[in-house]
A and B are shown apart, each in its own frame.
Chain A
Amino acid sequence: MLEIRDLRVQFETRNGTVDAVRGIDLDLARGETLGIVGESGSGKSVTAFSMLRILDAGGEIASGRLSYGGIDLAQADDAAMNDIRGREISMIFQNPRAALNPVRKVGHQIEDVLRQHAQATAQDARDKAIAALQEVEIKDAAARYHAYPFELSGGMCQRVVIALALACRPQLLIADEPTTGLDVTTQKTVMDLIQALAQDRQMGVILITHDLGLAGMYCDQLVVMKDGEIVEKGAPGVLTKSAAHAYTKRLLAATPHKGKMLHELVVDGTAQPLPAQGELLLSVQDVTKTYEGKSGAVHALRGVSFDLHKGGCLGLVGESGSGKSTVSSIIARLQDATTGDVQFAGASLFDVPAAKFASDPRRSQIQMVFQDATDSLNPRHTAAQCIEEPLRHLAGIGRRARRDRVQEIAGLVGLPDTLLSRLPHQLSGGQKARVGIARALAVEPQLLILDEPTAALDVSIQAVVLNLLAELRHRLRLTYLFVSHDLAVVQMLCDNVVVMRSGKMEEIGPTRDVLASPQSAYTQQLLDAMPSPAH
């Protein structure tokens, strides 16, 4: 059905021409699912965009043939492409909320597509739109027809996007990271839905993802891309068991799954001995948080209690809205709790309100690494300035001593000196994560709160950063509170785990026990949703 030969895509940029895709070949038969796996910058999304000819400004197909059912997509005129987009080939985007028009009802948006391709008339558009919503298993579709995107959850939005993409019954669906921003349990249902619809309609699917585990579960064929080239292709079973190319091997190794050890993620990694646990450092006692919402009180936390000993690492696991980030920001003293208490090294943290905590002597003892490294670095400050910032206020040392300390800590997290004078936008994702960790470690805190520090990173970089964290914990005798949605990552790093759901604790216990024999049905559900390439 689809045949791509020697596709090359180039981008004109300020620093000259960049080859984003360098001569790739792909084939896809009707009803088949092809997975394109690669990390950011590998050219996998550009390949997909070039099939629909929706490349960003400055990008063009330099050479190659993109033949779809006899039509060369690289040569087709704009009118022909408009017909093909949506009706023959359709696409699901990474961020479902951004893909929907925020000021139009979702039903109307589906009608627009149907009318555009003359698949419906003014009379039956509404019924067909509701039918399309029913097909993606949206409950009470007639009511949801009137919903605006902001009224729906992320998973629901992605279902609407899928309904939009499939409304005109295309032959080929391109899914570009369709579940990246979604919770694991939602990810599973969305992917199952795509798979079921594809089988039902004998539709070809191209799944673009950075997650080898996910691609392995849902694809018939896999290609692994790196730097605009295909390094390896094959059936998932074969590829995961006997990968030939070094890059595929590294990618496979870096993908966390149940039962894997942390040092196995990187080539020649060494296992860090578990630090001995000392006295009680942090004790969270029945903390609650209630917001005044527009429609009454919102209970973000309904009583959370746990202990963390010196040198230990506690994983706080939950999906979005579970309250895990609220707990971490209360402990980091960025906000106040409604009731409850947090004892840190024997004294209550709540004696000082969050707004005044900046001048508390314990400020330097509790530091935090943020989820989104890009968002957490001031775009106007260089890496060195970012790392120096806490030293400036909390360490009370002179300018020269600060500069030495910045270099020392940068060396500790593996950040070369030459990068220190760069601004955040001049750094890669992994380098920004290192700056964030260096900043938090600069004042030698006792407790480090890690709020999904690797969620925005590629798996290979995640592997390196996680190993770095384990090494630092051992070397500096640090205590970690590790917040994550990913049980696979938590089981490698943490000795104890707290599973949270809608502001309540579902389960608490040693990580090994919780993973081996979960007591709560929800934990079991989370475990089941974890993709694993070894099957």
Chain B
Amino acid sequence: MSTAEQQSFIGHVGYVLRQNPVTMIAFGMLAALVFCAVFGPSLVPYDPLASSDKILQPPNASHWFGTDHLGRDVFSRVVVATRLDMVISIGAVALSFVAGSILGCVAGYWGGWFDSIISRGLDMIMAFPLFVLAMGIVAALGNTVENVIYATAVINTPFYARVVRAEVNIRREAGFVQAAKLAGNSDLRVVALHIFPNALPPMMVQVSLNMGWAVLNAAGLSFIGLGVRPPTPEWGIMVAEGANYIISGEWWLAVFPGLWLMLAVFTFNLLGDGLRDMVDPRQRR
């Protein structure tokens, strides 16, 4: 990409942000989340793992989100957990994006037997209740962060593959594809460099929705005891642990990590339209 094109792309991103205040807010919230993920551990007032004798204190000036049953600061734990949850969701989405794109391109472009086998395979994954499938994968492979990422990636791949398959399939006979063949491109180059990029706008919408699901999914697995283990700070575990205390009036243990989780999912979902407009050249004037 030449510098002129880079500038026009940056200009276009700026235009999309100015045009749509919702996109602007979403990107602002994403920046805050990324900031927490990168700098969170060095900024928080307390060690997220250190217990103290101030147990189950309600929110106050020195502990904004209160403290838990071991006297750990909930605010510090919530902020520090951002990194782990973001790594899981971005990792899982990136994996399923790549796997889904490859499978979808093969199925959509070459069709025939490839298409039948890939599509039926994906249908099989979709036929399971996806969360139960993820539980099964983590339970079988072992209780680690990597396996949570793999499990989340597996259950999300069919969505990407289906979008890409449809987008590639409708463009297979397009004029610009034939022109690319006339220009001496091999089939692989045609599909990877000419057809696939045109599938990016709808894919971006899928990515943003999926990021939210991935965060929820990771938190959900931790909530039921699969995936991340205590005492590691993670939103799902914190909600799970806090749930026991809601009944006795210590609501802050579950509510704050839950709110943070909701905010993250909300941010990702709002990103969709903006991301789509950014990667769609037709939006440029």
Q: Which residues of A contact B (CB under 8 A)?
A: 14-15, 329, 332, 334, 355, 358-359, 363-364, 366-368, 370-372, 375-380, 382, 386, 389-390, 392-394, 421, 423, 425-426, 436, 439-440
What residues of A have a CB within 8 angstroms of the CB of B284 in the complex?
A: 423, 426
- Find out whether the CB atom of B285 lies under 8 angstroms from the CB atom of A358: no
- Find out whether the CB atom of B183 lies under 8 angstroms from the CB atom of A392: yes
- Find out whether the CB atom of B186 lies under 8 angstroms from the CB atom of A358: yes
The 6 closest A-B pairs by CB, nearest first: A376-B175, A393-B184, A390-B183, A375-B175, A378-B176, A389-B183
Number of interface residues of B (CB under 8 A): 22
- Find out whether the CB atom of B285 lies under 8 angstroms from the CB atom of A14: yes
What residues of A have a CB within 8 angstroms of the CB of B186 in the complex?
A: 358-359
Assuming A358-B184, A394-B184, is B179 touching A376 (CB within 8 A)?
yes
Assuming A378-B194, A379-B282, A421-B4, is B187 touching A355 (CB within 8 A)?
yes
Scoring B residues 159 to 187 as 1 if CB is less than 8 Å from chain A, else 0, what string do you get?
00000000000000011101111111111
Could you tell me which residues of chain B, from 254 to 285, have a CB within 8 Å of some CB in chain A? 281-282, 284-285
**B197 at the A interface (CB under 8 A):** yes
Query: Looking at the complex, which one of B176, B181, B184 makes contact with A334 (CB distance below 8 Å)?
Result: B181
A490 to B245, CA, bound (A): 85
Sampled A-B contacts (10; CB under 8 Å): A364-B184, A368-B179, A376-B174, A377-B176, A379-B198, A380-B197, A389-B179, A390-B183, A394-B184, A425-B281
- Find out whether the CB atom of A334 lies under 8 angstroms from the CB atom of B281: no
What residues of B have a CB within 8 angstroms of the CB of A439 in the complex?
A: 179, 183
What residues of B have a CB within 8 angstroms of the CB of A364 in the complex?
A: 184
What residues of A have a CB within 8 angstroms of the CB of B174 in the complex?
A: 375-376
A423 to B8, CA, bound (A): 12
A436 to B198, CA, bound (A): 19
- Find out whether the CB atom of A376 lies under 8 angstroms from the CB atom of B198: no
- Find out whether the CB atom of B198 lies under 8 angstroms from the CB atom of A378: yes
- Find out whether the CB atom of B175 lies under 8 angstroms from the CB atom of A359: no
Scoring B residues 1 to 23 as 1 if CB is less than 8 Å from chain A, else 0, what string do you get?
00011000000000000000000
- Find out whether the CB atom of A375 lies under 8 angstroms from the CB atom of B176: yes
Apart from A334-B182, A425-B282, what are 4 other A-B pairs with CB-CB below 8 Å?
Answer: A379-B281, A389-B185, A393-B184, A421-B4
Instruction: Name the distance in Å between A432's Cβ and chain B's nearest Cβ.
Output: 11
What residues of B have a CB within 8 angstroms of the CB of A14 in the complex?
A: 285
Instruction: Name the distance in Å between B281's Cβ and chain A's nearest Cβ.
Output: 5
- Find out whether the CB atom of B175 lies under 8 angstroms from the CB atom of A358: no
Instruction: Name the distance in Å between A330's Cβ and chain B's nearest Cβ.
Output: 13
Assuming A379-B282, A423-B281, is B178 touching A370 (CB within 8 A)?
yes
- Find out whether the CB atom of B176 lies under 8 angstroms from the CB atom of A367: no
What residues of A have a CB within 8 angstroms of the CB of B187 in the complex?
A: 355, 358
What residues of B have a CB within 8 angstroms of the CB of A372 in the complex?
A: 175
A350 to B285, CA, bound (A): 45
- Find out whether the CB atom of B176 lies under 8 angstroms from the CB atom of A358: no
Could you tell me which residues of chain B, from 193 to 220, have a CB within 8 Å of some CB in chain A? 194, 197-198
- Find out whether the CB atom of B281 lies under 8 angstroms from the CB atom of A389: no
What residues of A have a CB within 8 angstroms of the CB of B182 in the complex?
A: 332, 334, 363, 366-368, 390, 440
Scoring B residues 72 to 104 as 1 if CB is less than 8 Å from chain A, else 0, what string do you get?
000000000000000000000000000000000
A370 to B182, CA, bound (A): 11
Instruction: Name the distance in Å between A17's Cβ and chain B's nearest Cβ.
Output: 16
Which of chain A's residues has its CB closest to B279's CB? A380
A390 to B197, CA, bound (A): 19
- Find out whether the CB atom of A359 lies under 8 angstroms from the CB atom of B285: no
Assuming A14-B285, A421-B4, is B184 touching A376 (CB within 8 A)?
no
A378 to B179, CA, bound (A): 9
Which of chain B's residues has its CB closest to A387's CB? B183
A366 to B181, CA, bound (A): 12
Query: Looking at the complex, which one of A355, A380, A386 makes contact with B198 (CB distance below 8 Å)?
Result: A380
Instruction: Name the distance in Å between B143's Cβ and chain A's nearest Cβ.
Output: 43
Which of chain A's residues has its CB closest to B190's CB? A358
A377 to B178, CA, bound (A): 10
What residues of A have a CB within 8 angstroms of the CB of B178 in the complex?
A: 329, 334, 368, 370, 376
What residues of A have a CB within 8 angstroms of the CB of B197 in the complex?
A: 380
Instruction: Name the distance in Å between B111's Cβ and chain A's nearest Cβ.
Output: 14
- Find out whether the CB atom of A371 lies under 8 angstroms from the CB atom of B175: yes
Instruction: Name the distance in Å between B234's Cβ and chain A's nearest Cβ.
Output: 40
Which of chain B's residues has its CB closest to A423's CB? B281
A229 to B112, CA, bound (A): 54
What residues of A have a CB within 8 angstroms of the CB of B198 in the complex?
A: 378-380
A425 to B198, CA, bound (A): 14
